[in-house]
Amino acid sequence: MHIRFWGTRGSLPVAPHASTIAEKVSRALFAANGRSFASEAAARAFVEGELEFAVGKTYGGATSCVEIDLGAGPFVICDMGSGLREFGLDSLRRCNAEGRPQEYHFFLSHLHWDHIMGFPFFVPAFLAGAKIVIHAGHADAEEALRRQQEEISFPVPFDWLKADIAFRTLETGREYRIGRLDVSLIEQHHSHSSYGYRFRDDRGKVAVYSTDSEHKIDLMHGEADVVGFFEAADLVVCDTMYSLADTVSMKEDWGHSSNIVAVDLCHAARAQRLALFHHEPTYSDADIQRMYRETIRYEELTRDDAPLEVICAHDGLCIEV
Amino acid sequence: MGSGEIAWAFEERGNASLVAPAGRVDEATAAEFAERLSKFAETCRDTMILDLEGIAYMSSRGLRALTLAQRRASECGTTIVLARPNPTMREILAISRYDRIFTVTETIEAAQDD
C-alpha cells in the first residue's frame, strides 16, 4: 500500500507569505552561486539534489488528511482536514483515469475543527452516485459534520449533499474487515477523546495513524497499550507537534505529543518507520527541518538494535509500505 | 542500549542535597528511576542537585520522571538542578528542550551556587 499525505499541519492551516517564497528563491540562487542550467529539468535536479528541503520545498500547510492507497477499489482516508479538498479532486481524476469507483471510507481520529474542516469542500460529497462511509470511534461524528455546515458557519447545508453518506461508529478491542483492510482502533488522550487506527493489508503490511494523542506524564504505565498498538508496524504516523518540554509545561493538557516520545514508543514497539506528523502551525519550514534532524539524532542516540527510520511527513509526500 | 540496575548515591551539602544515580535510564529502569527520584525529592532542601555524570543515557520516560520529581520537590520549595551531563545527555536535554525548563550546570559547585 501507499500512504499519501494530503495535509500534515496541526491545528490550523497555514500558507507562506510572499516574503517566505522570496527568501527561499534568494537562498536557492545564492546556493547556485552563479551556476547556469541548460534546461528547467537541470534546474529541478539541482533543487532535488543539492538544496536542503526547507530551501527548495515546503512541508506545506494543509491540516490532517492521509490516504491509505491500495491502488484499486474504494478510497481510504484518515481525517478530513483542509488537505481533503485537494484529495477529493485528485480522487475524481483517478476515478476517470483508472475506473475506480467513487466510494470513500473515512476514518476520523476525532471531531475537532482542523480534522473535519475539509469536508464541506470535498467535491465527491456533492455528486449523486458517490458513496461515502464515515467511520469513527465517536458516536457524535454525524452531529459534528452536520453542525459545521449549519447556516451560521457555511452556506451549503449538509442535507444538500448528493452523495450517499453513512456513519458507522467503531469500537475499540475489535478488528474490522473494511474493504481490503483489517482495521482496529485505540482510544487516545485528547479533549473529547481521539482514536488511533491500525491498518493491515492482505500482504500483512501495517500502517498506524496516531494523531492528536497526548501521552500523559502521570500515566506512563499505560503506554504499554500504545506500544502494543504500534507493535512491529511498518509505518507509524505520529503526532509530534511539540517538544517534550512543552508537553510537560505550558502546553500540558493541550492533547499532543512530542518527537522523542514518538521515537521511544516506536523503538519499544519495534516499528520500522516513524512519520513525524501534525506539525506545529507556528513552525517555519526551517523549524520543522530542525525538528526532523534532531529527531533523527535522538533516534541514533537511543537506538537499542535495529534502526528506526524517521520520515518527516509533508503535504504531497507518498511513501510505499 | 542494554539496561541494568541504577546505582544511587546520596549526600547532604549544606542547604543542598546531592543525588547521584548511575546507569542507563531506559524503558526497563525508568519506573524505578522515577520512584527513587521522587523519594529523594521529598528531602526538602533548597536545592536538589542531580549529578548526571554517571547517567549514560536517558529516554523520554526518564526525562518525564525529572518533571514528576520537580513537581514533588516544589511542594516543599525545592528546586532540582541538573549537573555534569555527559555529551549524550547534553544532546538529549537540548533536543527535548529540557535545558529550557531545568537549570543545567557543568559542575556540582555551579549547581550549589545556582
How confident is the model over A126-164, as pLDDT tens digits?
999 999 999 999 999 999 999 999 999 999 999 999 999
- pLDDT tens for each residue of B53-111: 999 999 999 999 999 999 999 999 999 999 999 999 999 999 999 999 999 999 999 99
Q: CA-to-CA distance for B10 and B32, rounded, in angstroms?
A: 16
Which CATH number goes with the domain that contains A221?
3.60.15.10
Of B2, B27, B92, the CB nearest to A298: B92
Does residue B96 contact residue A242 with C-beta atoms inside 8 Å? no
Question: What pLDDT sits at residue A259?
Answer: 98
A118-133 average pLDDT score: 98
- pLDDT tens for each residue of A189-208: 999 999 999 999 999 999 99
The answer as to whether A24 is a domain residue is no
The answer as to whether A44 is a domain residue is no
Question: What pLDDT sits at residue B2?
Answer: 47
The answer as to whether A181 is a domain residue is yes
Question: What pLDDT sits at residue A172?
Answer: 98
Question: What pLDDT sits at residue B113?
Answer: 78
Scanning every residue of chain B, which has its alpha carbon at the shortest distance from the alpha carbon of A262? B60
The answer as to whether A37 is a domain residue is no
Q: CA-to-CA distance for A172 and A167, rounded, in angstroms?
A: 17
Question: What pLDDT sits at residue B26?
Answer: 87
A308-321 average pLDDT score: 98
In one-letter notation, the amino acid at residue A62 is A
Give residue A243's domain range: 2-14+58-320
Enumerate the domain spans of chain B: 7-108
Chain A residues near residue B34 by CB distance under 8 angstroms: 220
The answer as to whether A30 is a domain residue is no
Question: What pLDDT sits at residue B42?
Answer: 87
- ipTM value for the complex: 0.93
- pLDDT tens for each residue of B21-40: 999 998 889 999 999 999 99
The answer as to whether A39 is a domain residue is no
A240-265 average pLDDT score: 96
Cell numbers of B43, please? 528531602
Question: What pLDDT sits at residue B3?
Answer: 52
Look at residue A217 and tell me whether its pLDDT is greater than 70: yes
Question: What pLDDT sits at residue B28?
Answer: 87
| Contact yes or no for A258 and B96 at CB 8 A | yes
Sorted by sequence, the CB contacts under 8 Å of residue A164 that are 6+ apart come out as: A130, A131, A132
A vs B, Cβ pairs < 8 A, gives 64
Look at residue B1 and tell me whether its pLDDT is greater than 60: no
The answer as to whether A243 is a domain residue is yes
Q: CB-hemisphere CA count at 13 Å for A151?
A: 0
Q: Look at residue B44 and give its three-state secondary structure.
A: coil
Does residue A260 contact residue A296 with C-beta atoms inside 8 Å? no
A221 vs A124: which has the higher pLDDT: A124
Q: Look at residue B88 and give its three-state secondary structure.
A: helix
The chain-wide mean pLDDT, for chain B, equals 92
- pLDDT tens for each residue of A272-282: 999 999 999 99
Whether B14 contacts chain A with CB within 8 A: no
Compute the C-alpha angle A280/A281/A285, nearest 5°: 85
Task: Give the closest-approach CA distance of A119 to chain B in angstroms.
Answer: 36
The chain-wide mean pLDDT, for chain A, equals 97
Question: What pLDDT sits at residue A214?
Answer: 96
Q: Name residue, grid cell 506512563.
A: A220
Instruction: Give the class (CATH, top level) of B7-108.
Output: alpha beta
Q: CB-hemisphere CA count at 13 Å for A299?
A: 26
DSSP string, A236-266: EEEE--B-HHHHTTTTTTSS--BHHHHHHHH
Q: CA-to-CA distance for A24 and A8, rounded, in angstroms?
A: 20
The answer as to whether A229 is a domain residue is yes
A160-172 average pLDDT score: 98
Task: Give the closest-approach CA distance of B19 to chain A in angstroms.
Answer: 22
